[in-house]
Amino acid sequence: MLTVVLYAVVLFFAGMSTKIAGRRLRWILLGVGCLVFVIAVGWIATFPVSVEI
């Protein structure tokens, strides 16, 4: 459930980065969004997977 919130945060920062006028702040928001995305993907990759045939 927390991963959904993390992905929502990523989309929020990505969307806000398109609306900010300052170039530096835009890159900072986009960088924070990318960082949260990488963390969320890394966290999901550690989830146990059941492989049954």
The predicted-structure confidence for 1-46, as pLDDT tens digits, reads as follows 788 999 999 999 989 988 888 999 999 988 999 999 999 999 999 9
Of the CA atoms within 13 Å of residue 20, those in its CB half-sphere come to 15
What does the pLDDT read at residue 38? 94
Q: Which of 40, 47, 42 is nearest to 3 (CA)?
A: 40
Cβ proximity of 36 and 10 under 8 Å: yes
What does the pLDDT read at residue 3? 86
- On the question of pLDDT at 48 being above 90, the answer is no
- pTM for this one? 0.79
